[in-house]
Amino acid sequence: ELLAQTSITIDARDWFDIKEPIERHIFVDLPPKARKQYDEMQKELFTWIQDHPLEAFSAGVKSLKCLQMASGSVKISEDKWLPVHDEKIEALKSVVEETNGAPLLVAYQFRADMERILKAFPRAQTLEKDSKRKEREFREGKIPMLVVHPASAGHGLDLQHNCNILVDYSSGFNKEYDEQVIERIGPTRQFQIGKDVPVYRYRIIARGTVEQTAVLPSLKN
């Protein structure tokens, strides 16, 4: 209110015909063993991952562990993750096939997600080292998949020149991160460089988990 007398806010959507991203949800089902582990964690705050006990001491920690398990890996100590399932990796492979090798921006929530994606897709890159060079090469089409965390790639990156597809390998509760990561390649960015192309957003979601029942409704509302 104090700034209103001296400022003006302009939203490109109020002035130009900018379309919303086309969002598609890809649901994966946890395999029986992972489903059993997930249900035990959700109901009892305890389960076994391989030979390691996994315990949650609060509802918040339980929610975090359930999100990790939905993504496919769970953190059992400060520096150790264990795989729970490969369903999301397989879903990402299907997206790569469906998009016929088009450059993909892939967003993740947990470090284990990133490591597993890089292992499954050897040509994928991150921005952790030499970020400016990799950002440039992704714009030039030399990198087929750029794997980013929304917290570090949510502002200031121009990645739209050769990419119009975002894949959310996993989703988190932070609305700002969620909105900003799509804007790296979003319709407004495409419009700014004179391209009239649809922008696609694929969300890979573990069915019947907190990702579907809590995260998505939270982001929507």
Q: pLDDT at residue 155 above 80?
A: no
Return d(Cα 217, Cα 31) in angstroms, integer.
24
Burial of 74 (0-12, 13-18, 19+ CB in 10 A): buried
Among 24, 54, 63, 21, which residue's Cα sits nearest to residue 205? Answer: 24
pLDDT level of residue 221 (50, 70, 90 thresholds): confident
AA letter at 105:
L
pLDDT level of residue 2 (50, 70, 90 thresholds): confident
pLDDT at residue 19, rounded to an integer: 85
Query: Residues 14-49: pLDDT tens digits?
Result: 877 778 999 999 999 999 999 999 999 999 999 999
Highest mean pLDDT among 76-80, 165-169, 194-198: 165-169
Average pLDDT, the chain: 94
pTM for this model (two decimals): 0.91
The rounded percent of the chain whose pLDDT value lies above 90 is: 83
> Tokens in use for 26?
């890809």
DSSP assignment of 107-173 equals: E-SSHHHHHHHHHH-TT-EESSSSHHHHHHHHHTT--SEEEE-HHHHSSS---TTS--EEEESS--S
Residue with tokens 């990796």: 89
